[in-house]
Structure 1
Amino acid sequence: MPARITAPIAAPIPARPRSARVVVRHIHLWLGLSVGLIFAFAGLTGSALVFYPEIDAAFSPALRAVPDGTRPPSWQAVVDTLHREHPARTGAWRIEIDPSGGAIPVRYYTPKETAGRAFAPMLLWIDPVHLTTIRTGFWGDTVVTWIYDLHYRLLLGEPGGIAMGIAGIAMLVLIVSGLWAWWPRPGGWWRALRFKRPAAAIRRLYDLHKLTGLIGLIPLLAITATGVVLDLPDQTRPLIARVSPLFHMPALIVEPVVRALPVDRLIAVAQRRFPDGALAWIETPATATAPIRINLARPGEPSRRFPRTNVLLDPYTGRILAVRDGLADTSGDTVLNWLHPLHGGEAFGLIGRWLAFVTGLVPSAMLVTGLLRWRRRSPPRHRS
Structure 2
Amino acid sequence: MLSFNTTIRKIHLWLGLTCGLIASFSGLTGSLYVWQPEITAALNPELLKVENVENIKEVTILKSVVSLIETHKDSLNKIFLPYREQQTIAIQFKNGKTNYYHPVTSEFLGEKSASISFFENLLNLHRTLGIPQIGKYIIGTSAIIFFIILITSGVYIWWKAYANNLKKGFKVKWKAKKKKFNFDLHKALGIYFFIPLIIIAFTGSYFTYNAVYKSALKVFDNPNTHLINQQKNKNFSTLNETLLNSNEKYALRAIYFPKDKSGMYRIRYIKDRFIKAGYRKTKEVEINEKGDITTLSDFRFDSNSNRIVAQFYPIHIGEIAGICGRILVFISGMVPLVLLITGFRIYRLKKNKGLKKK
For the aligned pair, the TM-score class normalised by the smaller chain equals 0.7 to 0.9
Displacement of 1:330: 2.3
Corresponding residue of 1:348:
321
**Helix, strand or coil: the match of 2:299?**
coil
Bigger helix fraction: 2
RMSD: 3.9
5+ residue gaps, structure 1, are: 1-16, 115-121, 272-277
The residue aligned with 2:119 is 144
Question: Are the counterparts in 2 of residues 123 and 139 from structure 1 also a CA contact under 8 Å?
Answer: no
- Secondary structure (helix, strand or coil) at the match of 1:128 reads coil
Aligned-partner residue type, residue 63 of structure 2? A
Q: Secondary structure at the match of 2:12?
A: helix
Q: Which amino acid aligns with 1:270?
A: E
Which has the larger displacement, 206-215 or 249-258?
249-258
Deviations 1:11-34 (A, max 9, x none): xxxxxx543222211111111111
Q: How does 1:273-352 map to 2 (within 5 A)?
A: 279=251, 281=253, 283=255, 286=258, 293=267, 295-297=269-271, 302-303=279-280, 307-309=281-283, 322=295, 324-352=297-325
| In structure 2, C-alpha distance between the alignment counterparts of 1:262 and 1:334, rounded to whole Å | 26
Aligned pair partner of 2:156 in 164, 180, 205: 180
What residue is the counterpart of 2:20 in the other structure?
A: 36
The AA in structure 1 aligned to 2:182 is L
2:185 corresponds to 1:208:
yes
TM-score by length of 1: 0.74
Residue deviations 1:262-310 (CA, integer Å, cap 9, x gap) = 73432xx223xxxxxx52525377569967846241799622xxx3245
The 2-side partners of 1:88 and 1:139 are apart by: 26
Q: Distance in 2 between matches of 1:219 and 1:344?
A: 11
Report the identity percentage: 23
| 1:371 matched residue in structure 2 | 344
Give, as a single letter, the amino acid of the residue that structure 2 aligns with 1:220.
Answer: L
* Change in 2 beyond 3 A, CA 1:103/1:65: closer
Instruction: State the alpha-carbon separation in 1 of the partners of residues 238 and 20 from structure 2.
Output: 60
CA contact (8 A) 2:182 2:346 kept: yes
What runs of 5+ residues in structure 2 fail to find an aligned partner?
none
The separation in 2 between residues aligned to 1:138 and 1:88, in whole angstroms, is: 24
SS in 1 for 2:310: helix
Distance 1:242 1:67, change over 3 A: same
Distance 2:51 2:312 in 1: 32
Of 191-200 and 149-158, deviating more is 191-200
Contact residue 80 and residue 91 of structure 2 kept, 8 A: yes
The letter of the residue matching 1:77 is K
Figure out how many residues of one structure are paired with residues of the other and give that number.
Answer: 344
Letter aligned with residue 182 of structure 1: W
SS in 2 for 1:155: coil
1:131 paired residue among 95, 103, 106? 106
For 1:363 and 1:128, the matched residues in 2 are separated by 42
Cross-structure match for 2:44: 60
Any idea what the Cα deviations from partners look like across 1:201-254, whole Å, max 9, x if unmatched?
211111111111122111111000111121222443334347648978427585
Query: What is aligned with 1:194?
Result: 171
Separation (CA, whole Å) in 2 of partners of 1:56 and 1:241:
37
CA offset at residue 71 of structure 1? 3.5
Distance 1:323 1:29 in 2: 46
Q: Is residue 227 of structure 1 aligned with residue 204 of structure 2?
A: yes
1:164-202: per-residue Cα shift (whole Å, max 9, x none)?
111112212111111111114542223322223454321
